[in-house]
Amino acid sequence: MKMNIDTPIPIVDGTTITRKEFTEKYLKPQKPVILRGLWKQYPAYEKWTMDYFKQSMGDIKVKLFSTKQANPSETLSVAHAEMKFNEYLELIEKEPTDLRLFLFPVFKHKPELLKDFGYPNITGRYIKIPFMFFGPKHSVTRMHMDIDMSNVFLTQFAGKRRVVLFPPDQSDFLYRLPFNVHGLVDIDKPDFETYPAMQYAKGCTGILEYGDTLYMPSGYWHHIEYAEGGFGLSVRTIGASVGTILTGLWNVSIQRKFDDIMFKIRGQKWFNYKKQLAFKRAEKAMQRVKENAVLQ
């Protein structure tokens, strides 16, 4: 048995789509889409290459973190290696590696990069704080939803990425941890015996290639794997509804802090409590599916 994720994410021509068409077909109904060539209008589309970053920022020392560490809390706090940025880019181009580059402040080191792009007019209400991501082949960003509930436009500049998405209404089938934005399941190695609700989850899959921009609506679960070493950039917009915006504010300002406090107080017992709730919710979700099947 495998997960129901074979539905392809739609692909449209990002150079011809109108604001009205994007709003009616994707933004309002909150449906994901891959916009091919959306960023052709900006210098970054052709300018930003691996070689460009090697030459313009190559001497900057970057701290790298090993994903093989037994203690995941140390992975993000204690660097396990350090090398020049150009050496790291050469590494991820040539071979898989467990060394990851987290939250590298590209625009702080080279603010003139901000002049290489704008914010596509197919929509508005942009949060003008862009992020860049660099990753080696086979590295995976485990499935989660973004805590601020923003809409995301993720553009690929080098390499390929496999993206698997699930809409927010699939959260219970993914065993979402309460007070958190992560689930318990591994969609690449589904354990249907431990997590039987996974069989009811319905997702979609797409491959991002050079010049592709993924529009990912707020609240969507996403699992991202680098099929090749490469990099991309994300820009965000405010959630499409008042409810979504308020949920994002709640998540960032109160829910996350509450979760951190409870973990400090109760430790593993708090995590176990959240797991129990996740399983109870998944069981209820499965029961609803079965009841609906009987009624039909």
Residues 288 and 182 in one domain: yes
Q: What is the mean pLDDT of residues 204-221?
A: 97
| Domain boundary, last residue among 92, 110, 128 | 110
- Comparing CA positions, the residue from 126, 128, 132, 140 lying closest to residue 222 is 140
Quote the CA–CA distance of 38 and 12 in Å, as a whole number: 10
Alpha-carbon distances of 294 from 77, 284, 290, rounded to whole Å: 51, 15, 6
Residues 74 and 203 in one domain: no
Quote the CA–CA distance of 97 and 136 in Å, as a whole number: 6
Domain count within the chain: 2
Query: Is the per-residue pLDDT at 187 higher than 50?
Result: yes
Beta bridge partners of 72: none
Q: What is the mean pLDDT of residues 192-212?
A: 97
Query: Is the per-residue pLDDT at 42 higher than 90?
Result: yes
Pairing of strands 11-13, 33-36: parallel
- Which uninterrupted H or E stretch holds 134? strand 126-135
Q: Mean pLDDT score of the chain, rounded to an integer?
A: 92
| Domain boundary, last residue among 77, 110, 143 | 110
Residues 183 and 69 in one domain: no
Quote the CA–CA distance of 221 and 146 in Å, as a whole number: 8
List the CATH number of the domain containing 151.
2.60.120.650
φ, ψ of residue 45 to 5 degrees: the values are -55, -45
Confidence of residue 72 (pLDDT cuts 50, 70, 90): very low
Q: What is the mean pLDDT of residues 158-179?
A: 96
Residues 185 and 257 in one domain: yes
Please give the residue range of the domain that contains residue 152. Answer: 4-40+117-295
Residues 189 and 220 in one domain: yes
Give the residue ranges of DSSP H helices in 23-163: 44-47, 50-57, 72-75, 85-94, 106-109
42: helix, strand or coil: coil
Confidence of residue 67 (pLDDT cuts 50, 70, 90): low
3-state DSSP of 269-293: HHHHHHHHHHHHHHHHHHHHHHHHH
Residues 148 and 243 in one domain: yes
Confidence of residue 68 (pLDDT cuts 50, 70, 90): low
For the stretch 230-274, pLDDT in tens is 999 999 999 888 999 999 999 999 999 999 999 999 999 999 999
Residues 174 and 126 in one domain: yes
| Domain boundary, last residue among 110, 127, 155 | 110
Residues 239 and 281 in one domain: yes
12 and 209 in contact (C-beta within 8 Å)?
Answer: no
Residues 131 and 273 in one domain: yes
Quote the CA–CA distance of 272 and 287 in Å, as a whole number: 23
Query: Is the per-residue pLDDT at 78 higher than 80?
Result: no
What is the reported pLDDT for 75? 39
Residues 21 and 121 in one domain: yes
Residues 73 and 139 in one domain: no
For the stretch 9-31, pLDDT in tens is 999 999 999 999 999 999 999 99
Which of residues 12 and 96 earns the better pLDDT score?
12
Residues 50 and 158 in one domain: no
For the stretch 103-146, pLDDT in tens is 788 999 999 999 999 999 999 999 999 999 998 998 888 789 99
